[in-house]
Amino acid sequence: MAEWPASPSVIGKRIPRLDGLLKASGKAKYPSDVHPKGLLFGAMLYSPHAHAKVKSIDTKTAEKLPGVKAVLVIAGPGTTLRYHGDDIAAVAAETEEQARDAIRAIKIEYDVLPHVVTEAQSMAEGAPEVFKGGNVKKGRGQTKGKPEDAMASAAATIEATYTVPMITHVCLETHGLTVGLEGEKKATAWASTQNVYGIAGDLAQALELDRGDVTVYTEFMGGGFGSKFNADVWGTTAAKLSKMAGGRPVKMFLDREQEHCAAGNRPSATAHIKMGADREGKIVSVIAEGHSTGGVGNGTNMILPYVYRGVPHYSVGQANALTNRGGSRAMRAPNHPQSCILTEAAVDDLAEKLGMDPLEFRLKNLDPGSPMTPIYQAEIPIGAELIGWREKRKPRGKTGTGPIRTGLGMALHTWGGGGNPGKQVSCTIHPDGSVDIKTATQDIGTGARTILAMIAAEILGLQPTEINSLIGNSSYPPGQPSGGSTTTPTMAPPCYDAVTKARDALFKKVASAFNNARPEDLSLKQGQLWAGGEPVASWKEACRKLGTSPISVTGEFVDGLSSTGVGGCQFAEVSVDLETGEVKVKKIVAIQDSGLILDLLTWESQVYGGVIMGLNYGLFEEVVMDPTSGRMLNPDMEWYKLAGASDIPEIVVRAYSPPDEKGRQVIGVGEPPTISTAAAIGNAVSNAIGVRVTEWPMSPRNVLNALATASREGRA
Amino acid sequence: MTEQKPRDPGGLGGQSRRDFLRGSGVAAATAVLTGQAAGVLDEAQAAEESTKVLSGTVEITLKVNGQERSCEVEPRSTLLDTLRNRLDVTGPKRVCDRGSCGACSAIVDGELVYSCTTLAVSCQGKTIETLESFETGEGSVPHAFHQNDGLMCGYCTPGFVTACKAYLDKHPNATEEEIRKGIDGNICRCGTYVGVLAAAKAAAQAKKGA
Amino acid sequence: MKAFEYAAPTTVDAALKLLGGPNAAALAGGTDLLGRAKDYVTSPDRVVYVKEIKELGGITGDAKSGMTLGAATPLSEIVHHSGIREAYPALWQATSEIGSIQIRNMSTVGGNLLQRPRCWYFRAGFGLLGMKDGQSLVRAGDNRYHAIFQTDGDALFVSPSSLAVALIALDASAKVRGPKGERTVKVEELYRVPRREGESELTVEPGELLTHVMIPAAGKNGAYEARQKQAQDWPLVMSAVNLTMQGDTISKARVVIYGVAPIPWRSEAAERVLVGKKFSPEVAAEAGTAAVEAARPLSMNAYKVPMTRTVVKRALIRAVQGKGYWEEG
């Protein structure tokens, strides 16, 4: 079993990312920025209808327009289009303006079919089918114990329907790539992807080439969040257009509208939940029936109850309602944010019903069989202290008399995020002292590039800036696709292995040159080679002894360096204007364990970023569909609302990392901190205004509607 | 206004601009009815002579980051697309393309604007600055973004850096609240605002210290 | 965006000549027109750039005799104008909350007043009334951002200019020049409720140019808006008010509301409550209640009713008392 150094000099420090200044000076070239010689601009034609059959398609006029070099039909006559944004055809032209004109000049006759875009439409009797075989697919159901009996004997029960809408990834760099061919045999692509290694295969297949004949670069990429693992129709289409245009490179990036409609979403989730507890405040039963839609893709796989898996009796049923919307894709902690909202809202409501402090109620109901339980037990008091739970929190609705009420809420989450064997990293030590780390992974904003350099620097006694961290190239040793918070825990071990082996090989080769030292006497620190407690040479001098032969080692996954499974809790303080329904988040506290932290600076950024994405989920985001036309009504960044600087509260982030925690090694942190924010905000809003807002996001509309309903029913 | 060379002087499918004004202009038609045709036509000609009508493809010169850069655009070409597609100035990014997100921010004649919603032809004779021209050394805004990790994927970053720089240049004593408002026209999806605000404050501090 | 020809005249006369052709559009800041053009909602054959015409720029006058705004004045100039901030807080507050710094640098007074509705059915190409096969998509669909007044008609979008709401409260007029000469109208007369598809909600005709806005001396005025985001966002609803006082008593009142009707909504009901009364927060609340009596919300926007009641009340309190009961600290 390998081990991380006990007293590291680089690991755990705050290291600014290596490519930070390139990004902050506008000099970083993203796949959408590159401009290879002879570049053509691509544009996609996509369906304006939610459901239609292509009757005819005529590209003649488009082909004759000035500047147009290639037109490709994706959906020929007879093809069924299943959502607004579905791909129909593509064009490559000399200028982007010309490409768009050509798209407009393609004549299509549609046979418009009846559609279902809302869950209600999808689930209605006799609804038009998205695919043959019915719209409603029963999902994983679970039953444990005797939930009905347990519910009947519960001292307190709640029953409510909670809803969270579909959202989209809104990658700022839309999906796409730039791709060109040399001759018929070699292709080069610059792809905005989370999977530089895998995309090469997708493109090779589309071009009928060998994988090795396709080189894909992803030096930088503008956000993926789980939606950018494949070349996709538009990517392979760009490759085909390039081939049609004699190999001239084609740049094809989606416009914002198609990005929203077709490039992935986080499915909605609605659950009708009954939850009961005994007099002591132990949850005894959960009965939940949920449904969701992920468009033409999978719905939410609801984990109910979430976190509180020790509940003795529960039954959960769920259904995926297919709709005429683009298909869902993995999005930052798939299934968890929805499950967290649904469960934590019900848990909060039940605590309220019992008249218990929801924090105490949660502590009481942690799963005794879960390894996360001691982590939550340690984290919750830290978070409570930082948010001021004891001093500030008032019982729900007893928050004062004025129009502005403040409230506190909390929620718990869990995630895996472990490493997987099978990926490789190479380390080359050159005689001039330069060090190359190579692997076909990519930095999607997490800091992966910097972390690999830090590991190498740690082992070689150098600074991270002295390491060439070479990633984002499909011809490098196979690297991890960036998903599931697995990149760092997967790539750190082979990096450690490669650099350690390279160092040992260096020692072996040069030891004799330093007073005939034995390799085992040598060590590296502070940029020096040490022999028996004395610095004997600078790093560069030591490497010079290699003569003309560099050392190159490929490392594999080794055990003992990465682990899996984290728990976290978040607290929110909000103020709500009862008269306007406006919600302002004042403070978020996030306590997150994630094992060994490699770069504290970028780790914190990940947690802040997760919280802010959760804040967007809690306050602003939703895909709005028009039931009649079947179109998405807000495929923009105007009515699809995302936080700006003035919406960001004070955010306090704490790593939960006692010494034994660090012993659990490296665990990814991309996903966990985004899970529970929206749930905590919703609970804080309910605490502030005295009634549950059952529909996310916490928009003025949903808040005022909840207040109006309560008032009508005499509850507030 | 700098020189413009209309490529397609007709620009109206064979009809000259003069025909256009004479034949179908509401001004001309109204004038005929009111018996002032001659005068109006003279004025129309005068207006035409003083105001060039651009159409088709035109060559323009833009002053970008201190350099005179010439390229061919169409009147409809946005400043953003012109910078990115024609001049290889790719710091400003296309994200929403509708003036909602700020990724395309550029400074035109000293004012922060959305280049996605600005026509390139309207920028002739003006000073266009993108972040590629900013100082990057200690005390600079890009440096502060780097040191404070005010970026993750980095795609919104050029817009934020530009907005911060433009704001701090005009408001060197801005409070955090004011800085927030100053960059409220920009959106980050990775959620880097904490680092962005730290960077902005650090840059403001450095500027004062300098 | 469809191709168009482009001209940048330096005088209003030249601009009017150039705008005289069919399907010509005046371009100022571009923040609305170019978005519409990209969405193919508006496809002009000629674009006439008017932002830099000198006679259209500038802010003149003073609080006593009133002020005049050139139509091509960028909104940022209003925000930076201390005279406006003092004399016309309603205008200043409304303007400083519009868009973002970028938007305010680019957008102009005229462009803001004459921008087209943000209704997502209109922007998706379903026309201003959002009809499909004779059915109102708005009524049957997602109308959370739509009108709550006059909803028995076909025009269910909301007028998009919060600047107009402030200017109407301030009883401002607009100078419009066209081939037929110059006319002066009240700012509220720039807007109308279209009765059929194809009819514009704006009364400025194609070929005309809004050149100036004149604001008379004002009484106690202020504005208040409710919105979802604190950063760049549109108001959900907003109100601007202007009260002429005789001693403690309100002798004249103008209450205008944004986000509730296809035109900037003048609430005569609220004004009636106010006139002749001594100002108090209770009277302001009464006016807010009166303001929404005629509201008939659509299927998804009933929330706008209490919100409207509130913004009217708060705009009044802010106008008269400065700080409000809802403000912290």
Which of A626, A639, A646 shows the shortest C-beta gap to C230? A646
> How far away is chain C from the Cα of A702, in angstroms, using its nearest Cα?
8
> Is any Cβ of chain C less than 8 angstroms from the Cβ of B57?
no
CA quadruple A639, A640, A646, A651: dihedral, nearest 10: 160
Chain C positions touching A403 (Cβ under 8 A) are: 325-326
- The tokens describing B10, both together, are 């007709």
- C 16-35 near A (Cβ less than 8 A): none
* CATH number for the domain whose boundaries are A40-113+175-253: 3.90.1170.50
Contact call for residues A603 and A597 (beta carbons, < 8 A): yes
Which of B81, B185, B189 shows the shortest C-beta gap to A642? B189
- CA nearest to B24 within chain C: C21
Query: Considering the domain A20-27+419-555, what is its CATH architecture?
Result: 2-Layer Sandwich (3.30)
Q: Where in chain A is the domain with CATH 3.90.1170.50?
A: 40-113+175-253
**What phi and psi values does residue A286 have, to the nearest 5 degrees?**
-135, 125
| Residues in CB range of A516: below 8 A, 6 or more apart | none
Q: What is the DSSP string of C192-229?
A: ----STT--SB-SPTT-EEEEEEE----EEEEEEE-S-
Asked if residue B19 has pLDDT above 50, the reply is no
pLDDT at B50: 67
- The tokens describing B69, both together, are 């850069």
pLDDT at A661: 67
Contact call for residues A639 and C120 (beta carbons, < 8 A): yes
d(CA A243, CA A99): 17
d(CA B181, CA C99): 11
Which of A26, A220, A606 shows the shortest C-beta gap to B131? A26
Asked if residue A658 has pLDDT above 80, the reply is no
Among A309, A352, A298, A292, which residue's Cα sits nearest to residue A162?
A292
Among A140, A114, A137, which residue's Cα sits nearest to residue A127?
A114
- What percentage of chain A reaches a pLDDT higher than 70? 99
According to DSSP, the residues that pair with A73 across neighbouring strands are A89
Asked if residue B25 has pLDDT above 50, the reply is no
- The tokens describing C49, both together, are 């750039």
- CA nearest to A582 within chain C: C228
Mutate to test the interface with A, among B57, B147, B189, B196 (most CBs of A within 10 A): B189
Beta carbons of A24 and B161 less than 8 Å apart: yes
pLDDT in tens, A262-295: 999 999 999 999 999 999 999 999 999 999 999 9
Asked if residue B6 has pLDDT above 60, the reply is no
Contact call for residues C5 and B75 (beta carbons, < 8 A): yes
Asked if residue B30 has pLDDT above 80, the reply is no
- CA nearest to C37 within chain B: B76
Asked if residue B2 has pLDDT above 80, the reply is no
> Is any Cβ of chain C less than 8 angstroms from the Cβ of A101?
yes
> Is any Cβ of chain A less than 8 angstroms from the Cβ of B92?
yes
> Is any Cβ of chain B less than 8 angstroms from the Cβ of A24?
yes
User: A464 preceded by cis ω (within 30°)?
Assistant: no
Task: Indicate the residue type of A412.
Answer: L
> How far away is chain C from the Cα of A574, in angstroms, using its nearest Cα?
14
Long-range contacts of A389-396 (CB under 8 A, 24+ apart): A389/A359, A389/A571, A392/A573, A393/A357, A393/A687, A394/A687, A395/A352, A395/A355, A396/A352, A396/A686, A396/A687, A396/A690
| Residues in CB range of C138: below 8 A, 6 or more apart | C119, C121, C129, C130, C146, C156, C157, C298
Mutate to test the interface with A, among C2, C138, C227, C307 (most CBs of A within 10 A): C307
Average pLDDT rounded to a whole number, residues A396-405: 92
> Is any Cβ of chain A less than 8 angstroms from the Cβ of B136?
yes
> Is any Cβ of chain C less than 8 angstroms from the Cβ of A401?
no
> Is any Cβ of chain B less than 8 angstroms from the Cβ of A656?
no
Mutate to test the interface with C, among B32, B34, B53 (most CBs of C within 10 A): B53
C-alpha distances (whole Å) from B39 to each of A98, A463, B28, B43 are 41, 78, 10, 6
> Is any Cβ of chain A less than 8 angstroms from the Cβ of B197?
yes
- For the question of an ipTM over 0.90, the answer is yes
> Is any Cβ of chain B less than 8 angstroms from the Cβ of A516?
no
Long-range contacts of C198-205 (CB under 8 A, 24+ apart): C198/C127, C199/C128, C200/C128, C201/C116, C201/C117, C201/C128, C201/C155, C201/C157, C201/C159, C201/C262, C201/C263, C202/C114, C202/C116, C204/C114, C204/C176, C205/C178
**What phi and psi values does residue A270 have, to the nearest 5 degrees?**
-135, 135
Average pLDDT rounded to a whole number, residues A291-311: 97
Contact call for residues A259 and A225 (beta carbons, < 8 A): no
Mutate to test the interface with A, among B65, B84, B107, B193 (most CBs of A within 10 A): B193
Helices B193-209 & B157-170, crossing angle to 10 degrees?
Answer: 40
pLDDT at B40: 43
C-alpha distances (whole Å) from A40 to each of A34, A178, A233, A243, A311 are 12, 9, 18, 12, 59
Higher pLDDT, A344 or B47: A344
> How far away is chain B from the Cα of C8, in angstroms, using its nearest Cα?
7
Exposure on the CB side of residue A125, measured as CA atoms within 13 A: 0
Beta carbons of A173 and B142 less than 8 Å apart: no
d(CA A404, CA A396): 14
| Residues in CB range of A344: below 8 A, 6 or more apart | A306, A307, A411, A412, A676, A679, A680, A682, A683
Chain C positions touching A631 (Cβ under 8 A) are: 124
pLDDT at B210: 62
In the DSSP assignment, the letter for residue A88 is E
Number of Cβ pairs < 8 A linking chain B and chain C: 146
Chain C positions touching B180 (Cβ under 8 A) are: 231
How does A71-93 read in b/e, with b if 16+ C-beta sit within 10 Å? bbbbbeeebebbbbbbbbbbbbb
| Residues in CB range of A381: below 8 A, 6 or more apart | none
SS (H, E, C) A38-84: CCEEEEEEECCCCCEEEEEEECHHHHHCCCEEEEEECCCCCCEECCC
Number of Cβ pairs < 8 A linking chain A and chain B: 183
> Is any Cβ of chain A less than 8 angstroms from the Cβ of B93?
yes
Beta carbons of A644 and C328 less than 8 Å apart: no
Helix (H, G, I), strand (E, B) or coil at A433: coil
pLDDT at B102: 98
- What is the rounded average pLDDT for all residues in chain A? 96
Asked if residue B35 has pLDDT above 50, the reply is no
Asked if residue A140 has pLDDT above 80, the reply is no
> Is any Cβ of chain C less than 8 angstroms from the Cβ of A626?
yes
Which of A21, A222, A636 shows the shortest C-beta gap to B100? A636
SS (H, E, C) A495-558: HHHHHHHHHHHHHHHHHHHCCCCCHHHEEEECCEEEECCEEEEEHHHHHHCCCCCCEEEEECCC
Which of B153, B179, B191 shows the shortest C-beta gap to A611? B191
Chain A positions touching C126 (Cβ under 8 A) are: 629
> Is any Cβ of chain C less than 8 angstroms from the Cβ of A581?
yes
- CA nearest to C12 within chain B: B47
Counting as contact any 3 or more CB pairs under 8 A, the partners of B are A, C
d(CA A343, CA A399): 24
> Is any Cβ of chain A less than 8 angstroms from the Cβ of C102?
no
Confidence of residue B27 (pLDDT cuts 50, 70, 90): very low
d(CA A30, CA B158): 12
> How far away is chain B from the Cα of A177, in angstroms, using its nearest Cα?
14
- The tokens describing A561, both together, are 């360096």
Contact call for residues B158 and B103 (beta carbons, < 8 A): yes
Which of C21, C74, C231 shows the shortest C-beta gap to B20? C21
Beta carbons of B154 and A32 less than 8 Å apart: no
pLDDT at B45: 53
- What percentage of chain C reaches a pLDDT higher than 90? 97
Neighbours of A152 (CB within 10 A): 11
How does A380-415 read in b/e, with b if 16+ C-beta sit within 10 Å? beebbebbebeeebeebbebeeeebbbbbbbbbbbb
Count of residues making up chain B = 210
Contact call for residues A473 and A440 (beta carbons, < 8 A): yes
Counting as contact any 3 or more CB pairs under 8 A, the partners of C are A, B
Neighbours of C127 (CB within 10 A): 17
- The tokens describing C26, both together, are 């005046």
Confidence of residue A589 (pLDDT cuts 50, 70, 90): very high
d(CA A75, CA A79): 5
| Residues in CB range of C304: below 8 A, 6 or more apart | C148, C236, C237, C259, C260, C295, C297
- C 213-232 near A (Cβ less than 8 A): 226-232
pLDDT in tens, A607-620: 999 999 999 999 99
Higher pLDDT, A554 or B39: A554
Q: Is A611 left (phi over 0), alpha (psi -120 to 50) or beta?
A: alpha
Beta carbons of B191 and A610 less than 8 Å apart: yes
**What phi and psi values does residue C165 have, to the nearest 5 degrees?**
-60, -45
- The tokens describing B93, both together, are 């990014």
Neighbours of A282 (CB within 10 A): 16
- Domains in chain B with CATH codes: 5-50 (no CATH), 58-132 (3.10.20.30), 134-209 (1.10.150.120)
C-alpha distances (whole Å) from C192 to each of A110, C201, C261 are 37, 5, 10
pLDDT at A715: 76
| Residues in CB range of A367: below 8 A, 6 or more apart | A307, A308, A309, A310, A373
Asked if residue A551 has pLDDT above 80, the reply is yes
Q: Is A516 left (phi over 0), alpha (psi -120 to 50) or beta?
A: left
pLDDT in tens, C109-168: 999 999 999 999 999 999 999 999 999 999 999 999 999 999 999 999 999 999 999 999
| Residues in CB range of A232: below 8 A, 6 or more apart | A175, A263
Contact call for residues A246 and A277 (beta carbons, < 8 A): no
Least confident interval from A132-136, A452-456, A712-716? A712-716
Sheet holding A425-429, edge to edge: A467-470, A435-438, A425-429, A551-555
pLDDT in tens, A482-492: 988 899 999 99
pLDDT at B13: 33
Q: Where in chain A is the domain with CATH 3.30.365.10?
A: 20-27+419-555, 265-417+563-712
Chain A positions touching B136 (Cβ under 8 A) are: 21, 24-25
- The tokens describing A713, both together, are 């029913």
pLDDT in tens, C5-43: 999 999 999 999 999 988 999 999 999 999 999 999 999
Chain B positions touching A448 (Cβ under 8 A) are: none
pLDDT at C8: 97
Confidence of residue A716 (pLDDT cuts 50, 70, 90): low
| Angle (CA) A634 A576 A689, round 5° | 110
* CATH number for the domain whose boundaries are A265-417+563-712: 3.30.365.10
Chain C positions touching B8 (Cβ under 8 A) are: none
> How far away is chain C from the Cα of A173, in angstroms, using its nearest Cα?
19
Counting as contact any 3 or more CB pairs under 8 A, the partners of A are B, C
> Is any Cβ of chain A less than 8 angstroms from the Cβ of C142?
yes
Exposure on the CB side of residue C217, measured as CA atoms within 13 A: 6
